[in-house]
Amino acid sequence: MGRYRLRCLQCNRIVQDHYTLGCHDNALLRTEYAESRLTLKNLPGIWKFHDWLPVSGSMGIGAAPVTYRSEGLAQELGLHNLYISFSGYLPERGAFIKTCSFKELESPATLQRSIEHGNKTFVVSSAGNTARAFAQTASEAGLPLVIVIPVSCMYRLWITNEVPDQVRVIAVDGDYYDAIMLGDRIGSIDGFRSEGGARNVARRDGMGIVMLDAVLRMKTLPKHYFQAIGSGTGGIAAWEASIRLIRDGRFGDLMPRLHLAQSAPFAPIFNAWAGNRRVISPEDVPDKSMIKETYTDILSNRNPPYGIRGGVADALAETRGMVYAIENDEARDAKRMFEDAEGVDILRPAAIAVAALCRAVDTNSVDPDDMILLNITGGGLSRLKEDYSPNHLSADLVIEADARSDRILDEIMEVL
């Protein structure tokens, strides 16, 4: 079977990988690796997990997360086995992710997979952190890239490298969902390729590294996994990595319970799960004007991969999962508590996960002795600025969200 193969989670067929994002039905594909036992490779960063990445080669670029046993926060919360997976910049703990979020676990594997399936210009839509990660990786690897991003998120678009000429930025006067729609249109033009979001196995298996790294450190699967979600792709990835780790056999057979947290009042996955719905219904999706009421717009995906086969609803069902809608004051308190207790700044979405953990402790959803993994999906930005000055990217073109005509694509082609 080679290193890996893809299986459709709906019709169960094996699908040839030509950078394939799905078969004829609407389900997710999942990677099946020839190596059922994970052996770390003597390669830098994330590439030591090469056994379980859907690629043949490795570009050698891309830092791994670090997992460490919490002392400060654990003590605050009265927990005895709290582990933190930190995706960000904190050299003191061996964390060197310079765009400061776990999106940089996805970008190297995804770009490597893309290179291996033809020479195309990669198109990524983002609310900021994904764009930053792909811009950083593409610039280090010298690859062409098109970024589609809401104007309101442009301030998040920087890298620590020189801004390279082969990266183009299209800013949309709209929200994240508008950027995704436009990105898909550009990605369908000849010579371009959309990243595919949750449908891209390289993105999910890249994010799954959080669980792999943590389990190797903890020597066992955790009983609980906490993460802030917008699309929930990281939650799916944690579940899929756990399936592989259980099959590996060395880390126990307990499937971690997913505790996924959204930012109220924009919490469609929370609403659907609380209403016992396996697909998101229109009533679950708040008006987009609610996004500005949230603690962080990073988590405001209007169309997450929830009801799709192999998606967030399946992940929650298979892990007896829980979903939280975190209020702004809870998030603020959690951020301060984490930063004081652990001595490093975190991004706002990560504070949403910390707040969910606080709630789980308050409601006895976790026991003090449970093995718990808290995914700090982003942090160390203040710490980074002591060592680097970020270079901001500027937009090559700004367009209206509801501009539908093909003239827009012509305009875009002129700057690409």
Ligand X SMILES: *Cc1c(COP(=O)(O)O)cnc(C)c1O
Q: How many residues bind Zn ion (CB under 5 A)?
A: 5
25 contact, one of ligand X, Zn ion, none, CB 5-8 Å limit per kind = Zn ion
Round to whole Å and give the CA distance between 271 and 142: 42
CA neighbor of 160 nearest in space, from 97, 66, 76: 97
126 contact, one of Zn ion, ligand X, none, CB 5-8 Å limit per kind = none
Residue number with the smallest Cβ distance to Zn ion = 8
Residue whose CB is less far from ligand X, 4 or 102 = 102
* Beta-bridge partner residues of 158: 392
Name the minimum Å distance from CB 380 to ligand X.
11
Does the footprint of ligand X cover residue 263 (CB under 6 A)?
no
Show contacts with ligand X in window 302-361 (CB under 6 A). 347, 349-350
235 contact, one of Zn ion, ligand X, none, CB 5-8 Å limit per kind = ligand X
When binding is defined by CB under 5 A, the residue of 4, 6, 7, 8 that contacts Zn ion is 8
Q: Near ligand X by CB under 6 A, which window of 31-39, 51-59, 164-172, 223-231?
A: 223-231
Per-residue binding letters, 128-157, with ligand X (x by CB under 6 A)? -x----------------------------
Does the footprint of ligand X cover residue 109 (CB under 6 A)?
no
Does the footprint of ligand X cover residue 228 (CB under 6 A)?
yes
Does the footprint of ligand X cover residue 256 (CB under 6 A)?
no
Round to whole Å and give the CA distance between 362 and 348: 21
Name the minimum Å distance from CB 199 to ligand X.
13
Segment holding 373, helix H or strand E = strand 372-379
Name the minimum Å distance from CB 332 to ligand X.
16
- E-only strand ranges, 210-354: 224-228, 257-263, 322-326
Structure tokens at 128: 């900021």
Residue whose CB is less far from ligand X, 136 or 377 = 377
Show contacts with ligand X in window 270-309 (CB under 6 A). 298-299
Contact between 87 and 374 (Cβ < 8 Å) = no
Does the footprint of ligand X cover residue 110 (CB under 6 A)?
no
Q: How many residues bind ligand X (CB under 6 A)?
A: 18
Beta-carbon contacts of 393 under 8 Å, excluding residues fewer than 6 positions away, are 135, 147, 154, 157, 158, 159, 163, 167, 169
CA neighbor of 262 nearest in space, from 198, 326, 314: 326
Contact between 219 and 45 (Cβ < 8 Å) = no
When binding is defined by CB under 6 A, the residue of 377, 380, 383, 399 that contacts ligand X is 377
Round to whole Å and give the CA distance between 416 and 414: 6
Segment holding 133, helix H or strand E = helix 129-141
Q: Strand, helix or coil at 8?
A: strand
Does the footprint of Zn ion cover residue 328 (CB under 5 A)?
no
Does the footprint of ligand X cover residue 230 (CB under 6 A)?
yes
349 contact, one of ligand X, Zn ion, none, CB 5-8 Å limit per kind = ligand X
Name the minimum Å distance from CB 22 to Zn ion.
7
CA distances from 400 to 4, 120, 185, 192, 288 (A): 42, 26, 14, 21, 16
* 167-173 vs 397-400, strand pairing mode: parallel
Residue whose CB is less far from ligand X, 154 or 399 = 154
Largest distance between two CA atoms of the chain: 60
Contact between 158 and 390 (Cβ < 8 Å) = yes
Does the footprint of Zn ion cover residue 84 (CB under 5 A)?
no
Does the footprint of ligand X cover residue 196 (CB under 6 A)?
no
Round to whole Å and give the CA distance between 167 and 148: 11
Does the footprint of ligand X cover residue 234 (CB under 6 A)?
yes
When binding is defined by CB under 5 A, the residue of 4, 6, 17, 23 that contacts Zn ion is 23
Residue whose CB is less far from Zn ion, 8 or 153 = 8
Round to whole Å and give the CA distance between 156 and 399: 18
When binding is defined by CB under 6 A, the residue of 81, 233, 242, 263 that contacts ligand X is 233
Contact residues for ligand X, defined by CB under 6 A: 101, 103, 129, 228-235, 298-299, 347, 349-350, 377-378
Contact residues for Zn ion, defined by CB under 5 A: 8, 10-11, 23, 25
